[in-house]
C-alpha cells in the first residue's frame, strides 16, 4: 500500500482475524479522522519547508520515492520534497553526489538511525564527512528518529496520524503542536 491510510486500514482485517473487528473499526476511524484533519490543516497553511530523508548506507542513499508511503506523507504535511514527482513507490537508490546536487539546500533533514542513545550532529559527521555540505546540517535543522528506542516501525504503519503530526511540526515550525514530537527529535551538536 502506498497510501498511509490504506496501509493502516489493514488493522480492520487483523481485527476480523482476532475477533475484535468492532474495536479495530473504531481505531481505524479515529486514525482516519486524525490524519484527515492534520492533512486539511496543512492544506490551509500552505507549503512547508524543504526536506531530505534518511542518510547514506554504505555507498547508497535510499531515498523514499515520490509515490511511497513516506513520500505521500511528506506531501500531506506540505513538505517541499525534491523527489515528490518521482513515480517510484519504493526507495530510490542514489549516490551521495546525486542527493547533494538535488537536495543540498534543503531546509530540514530527517533521518532514521539505530543507536543505544540519541545521535548528535558530530556523530553524523563522523559517519560521512560530506554531510557538512548540506544546508540543513550547517543550520542544525537535523531531526533523527532512533528506531531502537522508539516504536517507529511497530506503530507508524497503523498510526500514520502520529507520524504525520511529527512531519507537520518539523515542516511548519510556526504551528503550535497539539502533541509533542513522537518519533523525531532535533539532533544536538
> What is the dihedral angle through the alpha carbons of 146, 69, 67, 172, rounded to the nearest 10 degrees?
-70
The pLDDT score that the predictor gives to residue 178 is: 78
At residue 121's C-alpha, the angle toward residues 55 and 82, to 5°, is 35
Element spanning 134, H or E: none
Q: For the chain, how are helix, strand and coil distributed in percent, rounded to 5? A: 45, 15, 40
Strand duo 51-53 + 108-113: pairing? parallel
Question: Tens place of pLDDT for every residue, the chain, 189 residues?
Answer: 779 999 899 999 999 999 999 999 999 999 999 999 999 999 999 899 999 999 999 999 999 999 999 999 999 999 999 999 999 999 999 999 999 999 999 999 999 999 999 999 999 999 999 999 999 999 999 999 999 999 999 999 999 999 999 999 999 998 877 789 999 999 998
Amino acid at each position: 500500500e502506498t497510501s498511509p491510510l490504506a496501509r493502516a486500514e489493514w488493522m480492520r482485517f487483523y481485527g476480523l482475524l482476532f475477533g475484535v473487528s468492532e474495536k479495530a473499526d473504531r481505531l481505524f476511524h479515529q486514525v482516519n479522522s486524525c490524519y484527515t484533519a492534520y492533512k486539511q490543516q496543512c492544506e490551509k497553511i500552505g507549503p512547508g519547508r524543504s526536506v531530505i530523508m534518511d542518510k547514506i548506507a554504505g555507498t547508497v542513499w535510499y531515498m523514499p520515492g515520490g509515490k511511497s508511503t513516506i513520500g505521500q506523507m511528506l506531501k500531506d504535511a506540505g513538505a517541499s520534497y525534491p523527489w515528490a514527482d518521482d513515480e517510484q513507490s519504493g526507495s530510490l537508490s542514489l549516490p551521495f553526489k546525486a542527493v547533494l546536487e538535488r537536495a543540498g539546500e534543503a531546509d530540514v533533514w530527517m533521518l532514521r538511525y539505530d543507536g543505544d542513545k540519541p545521535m548528535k550532529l558530530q556523530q553524523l559527521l563522523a559517519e560521512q564527512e560530506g554531510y557538512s555540505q548540506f544546508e540543513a546540517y550547517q543550520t542544525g535543522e537535523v531531526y533523527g528518529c532512533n528506531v531502537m528506542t522508539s516504536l517507529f516501525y511497530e506503530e507508524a504503519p497503523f498510526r500514520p496520524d502520529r507520524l504525520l503530526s511529527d512531519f507537520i511540526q518539523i515542516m511548519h515550525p510556526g504551528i503550535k503542536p497539539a502533541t509533542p514530537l513522537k518519533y523525531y527529535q532535533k539532533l544536538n551538536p
